[in-house]
Amino acid sequence: MTPTEPSNLPLYIILNAGSGHAETDLQRQTIEEELARAGRRFELTVVEDPGELAQVAEQAVAKARQAGGIVVAAGGDGTINTVARATLSSGCPFGVLPQGTFNYFGRTHGIPQDLAGAVRALLTAHVQPVQVGRLNDRIFLVNASVGLYPTLLEQRERDKRQYGRSRVIAFLSAIKTILGFRKQLTIRFDLGGAPETIRTTTLFVGNNALQMEQVGIETMKLALEEGRLAAVAPRSIGKLATLGLLVRGAFGQLGGSGDLIAFGFRRMTVWQRGWYGRRRVKVAIDGEVTHLAPPLEFEVIEDQLLLLVPENPVRE
């Protein structure tokens, strides 16, 4: 298969069962019915234990390489990241069936948000290489961050489990987290010249043009389109000013704020004095919180993901 041709190659699909059995059964039925109707060869694996997702992804990639097939991730941005990590250097095309709350990766590339539509779009899709970011030894497709943002994600997941999954819950959870967050980072970063220092609550590195567009930072959308990553950090400001940034972002007006530092880059090293001697630092990568050894190295990597994108992308 060439990089631009549609294909009838077999699909090796990994479905993350994180949403509960009833919803997973419906998702599985939808996928199987659409593919059976199209006469497409496929193998669908449902992952019940999130801890087994990476191993199952590696197994699916091995099968796809042997059969000349396609690896497909069905889930949210975190699931997509894990399966993409296994697929990246394999040479296999990569498909996505978005099933998360925000689905930034799928939406950026015009993949339908309803599952049946996403499956049908996958059947006639063509391959388009897409940019991949890396933080230390982990890739990211949407964003990676340190500071307030990982804490915000942890609290959001706790609140969603208690109150339900919705964007309103996510927004209210963010307000609560900002009001209770006390840490400030004094971060030194090196872009290959003289090191610079900023004081901030969080450093956010984006790799998703749609996300930058929605919060209103058009210059960073342009940086991504030019093959760079987008660094965004609030200046050292109070909690009310930070809440103001949250509201501006919700209305797509962050680009006009003087309380924000933003710049594009291809490679950046980040560290701070408090990290010396620490074995791990909390970070967030594509919506999943983990710990990495400092210093933190952000970069655009040479390998590109061979993503299957629809012939007729859905644009919001």
Structure tokens belonging to residue 154: 């942890």
Is the fold of 11-130+304-309 the same as that of 138-300? no
pLDDT at 248: 75
**Residue 101 has what pLDDT?**
76
How far is it, in rounded angstroms, from Cα 68 to Cα 94? 12
* Residue 182 three-state SS: coil
Domain ranges of the chain: 11-130+304-309, 138-300
Q: Per-residue pLDDT tens, the chain, 316 aa: give them.
A: 444 344 689 999 999 986 556 788 999 999 999 999 999 999 999 999 989 999 999 999 999 999 999 999 999 999 999 999 999 989 999 999 998 878 899 999 999 999 999 999 999 999 999 999 999 999 999 999 999 889 888 888 888 777 877 778 888 888 888 887 878 889 899 887 788 899 998 999 999 999 999 888 988 999 999 999 999 998 877 777 787 877 777 767 787 777 889 999 999 999 987 787 678 999 999 989 999 999 999 999 988 899 999 998 887 6
Six-digit token string for 202: 């969080």
Whole-number Å distance between alpha carbons of 276 and 125: 47
pLDDT at res. 96: 97
Superfamily of domain 11-130+304-309: Probable inorganic polyphosphate/atp-NAD kinase; domain 1 (3.40.50.10330)
d(CA 73, CA 80): 5
For the sheet with 138-140, list strands across it.
138-140, 133-135, 296-300, 267-271, 185-190, 196-200
Distance CA 22, CA 286 (A): 26
Was domain 138-300 assigned CATH 2.60.200.40? yes
